Structure 1
């Protein structure tokens, strides 16, 4: 299988086939789609918009999934975990900056909760059992990570991971990092809304379009 190229002007490619498709969702870790439980601990609704920052492999797929979730008002692909002077695709792709490819999700908590976003994140957006890689993409920049902006988010994220682990829903341990968000740096313009602009690219077809189909099947009430 082709891996993602590190040069910022080159595209990612993947061989089409069952092996690539089975890497598409977190509940597909052993080839079986699962329905995950609601978080036992969640944040109560509040006024105004809130933000979640999530990482799990290439930001193209994470961005595309949450763009199709009702209650999400905007998504931005970018970098989190490193310093401002290394927040560029060329540098991050080297895997030495501390950054992860991440997506900033702005949402209306009256329509969807932070915990429900995490349920989607663990169900269809990525595979939380893959350490420092995701499908064909390898390196710490593709790690599974939740970047929390306050202690309430941290508590919900840690509690949900503990809940899922205790239920033994995956064939391997969840390796998702829960880390404080120091800053989020938007990625270059050509990375924004990538799936919608390149729906026929082989990497997108193999790795990201199946995530949208899983979202539609598993979460019909919030799919848009």
Structure 2
């Protein structure tokens, strides 16, 4: 959510927060941690005073500068970016419903007021555990499962907690992320690719 919402950590009653720069178009492999002084957190890697003695070792200065600039741009353009991305997400939901009338959206993912506008978690009305790989082969990057277990071979505990056993057995989870660079044409390509996969593999759609 950092870089996508107007956050003021001085007013939020939390002790810790973390973020990854690539979530707002910064360099991969760098992030930051917010640690409240009163949290009592001790150093994890000792031997130096880098990062306020919480993690010793040479700092990735180039990555830090890149993160800072990317976050600055994201915050400066927050209203413009959020309006664009929400429009793309709304378009994706509308078009997916046209092609797959029985598609389901996990949790509150399709609720504009109760979900993050950059992510859509859905349950396709058919079973195909290879959907992520097949979409990747068509040049489309999406994830299966929840954000914390997209590459795991076993079902996501998050999805297991919000889906019924029948839904787990008859649907395919997919997580689609959007950014300020995503276009309606990208969504059209995704839906076209899903249609192709269904036809190529003679997949039976669940109409219940």
TM (norm. structure 1) is 0.29
Q: Which has the higher contact order (CA 8 A, sep 6+)?
A: 1
**Is the helix fraction higher in 1 or 2?**
2
Normalised by the length of structure 2, the TM-score is 0.31
Greater radius of gyration (CA): 2
Write 1 or 2 for the structure with the bigger share of strand: 1
